[in-house]
Amino acid sequence: MTTTPVMQADNIVKELGAGAGLVVAVKGVSLELVPGELTLLMGPSGSGKTTLLSILGCIMKPTSGSIRIADTKIDGLSAEELAKVRRDHLGFIFQSYNLFPTLNAIENVRIALDVRGVKGFAATSRSEEVLREVGLGHRLTNYPRNLSGGEQQRVAVARAIASSPSIVLADEPTAALDSENGHAVMALLSRIAKEQHRSVLAVTHDPRTLGYADRVVRIEDGRIVGEERRPEGIDSPEITDLTKRRKLHA
């Protein structure tokens, strides 16, 4: 496995609000993501994990600190330039799936390609391919209302990987799913990381997801308070005895 990071975040600080209402949501977080690894960002509600995900996803700008994605330093980029970084390097999976209710499964995937300029037959065939990859080859023309929660999340996964991004960011991907579907989606994300050699970062507080992680980063009160990594050579998804490498920040 290559260890060259596809994303490097250095000393990220994010302040929200102003004056008496000022809240420092992220306090000097540094993080690297490497290909082929499923990283979980875990922490309690209000710990700043979703804010950090937004910043790493180039959706929110940090107050200070720097981020490099592939070879692109994203500090100071405009909103449109950040959108281009998202198009070129990132795929997103959301807690509530965020599918377009008026589009069927294949169209929901196609639109992610369409915004990237991939159109026509190439877009259709790629959309079909990724939907088959996530096990929805038989549901191509179904609308979200006719899909189960697990199937909808798999469409969202297909949408996220359709453009072959180097990084996939997932926000609570199992939160709205039952146990069986939760495990299926996590297995899928793990497979995407391993087989497609992508870096997957999932924000979660769902303990069921732990077994699929190569690495767990714990965040509390806007700071990374620990990092645990799966020992080399252990592939079982049920592993819970992660090597702990606690790195408490002052």
Partner 1 sequence: MVFTLALRNLLHDRVRLAVTLIGILFSIVLVAVQLGLYLGSSRMITANIARSNADLIVTTFGAKSFEDGGLLLGDRERHQALATPGVESVVPLVVAFAEWRKPEGGSSRVVLIGSDADDQGLLPWGLIQGSVEDIKAPDAIAVDSTYLSELGVNGIGDTAQAAGGRVKIRALTEGIRSFTQSPYAYTTLNRARQLLGADDDKSTFLLVKLAPGANITEVQKDLGHRLDSADVLTKDEFESRSLKQWLFRTGAGLALIGGAILGSLVGTVIVAQTLYSSTKDHIHEFATLRALGSSRGYIYKVILAQAGLSAIMGYVLGMAIALLILYLSRNSSLPLVMTPGLAFWLFALTLFMCAISALSAIVKVTKIDPATVFAR
Which of 49/223 has CB closer to partner 1? 49
| Closest distance of CB 60 from partner 1, Å | 5
- Write out the H or E segment, with its range, that includes residue 80: helix 79-89
Residue 19: DSSP 8-state: G
Q: Supply the minimum distance, in Å, between the C-beta of residue 249 and partner 1.
A: 24
What single letter denotes the amino acid at residue 141?
Answer: T
**153 near 93, Cβ under 8 Å?**
yes
> Cα–Cα–Cα angle for 47, 48, 54, nearest 5°?
155
Do residues 4 and 200 lie in contact, with contact meaning Cβ atoms separated by under 8 Å? Answer: no
Question: Whose Cβ is closer to partner 1: residue 115's or residue 187's?
Answer: 115
Amino acid found at 31: L
Q: Which position among 13, 83, 175, 225 is part of the footprint of partner 1 (CB under 8 A)?
A: 83
Q: Which of positions 35-54 make contact with partner 1 (CB under 8 A)? A: 50, 53-54
Whether 171 contacts 95, CB under 8 Å? yes
| Residue 57 CB neighbours (<10 A) | 22
Q: Does position 124 bind partner 1 by CB under 8 A?
A: no
Q: Interface residues for partner 1 in 89-118 (CB under 8 A)?
A: 90, 92, 94-96, 98, 100-103, 107, 110-112, 114-116
**Considering the complex, what minimum distance in angstroms separates the CB of residue 82 from partner 1?**
9
Say which amino acid occupies 176.
Answer: A
Residues 124/126/128/132 CA torsion (nearest 10 deg): 180
Nearest-approach distance from CB 88 to partner 1, in angstroms? 8
Among 60, 188, 217, 224, binds partner 1 (CB under 8 A): 60
Closest CA to 159 of 121, 107, 200: 107
Contact flags string 216-235 toward partner 1, x per CB under 8 A: --------------------
Considering only residues 80, 232, 235, 241, which one is a binding residue for partner 1 as defined by CB under 8 A?
A: 80
- Which amino acid type is present at position 20? A
Q: Using CA of residue 163, residue 166, residue 172, residue 178, what is the dihedral sign?
A: positive
Among residue numbers 147 through 186, which ones bind partner 1 (CB under 8 A)? 159, 171
Residue number, 59 or 239, with CB nearest to partner 1: 59
Give the residues lining the site for partner 1 (CB under 8 A).
50, 53-54, 57, 59-60, 79-80, 83-88, 90, 92, 94-96, 98, 100-103, 107, 110-112, 114-116, 119, 123, 159, 171
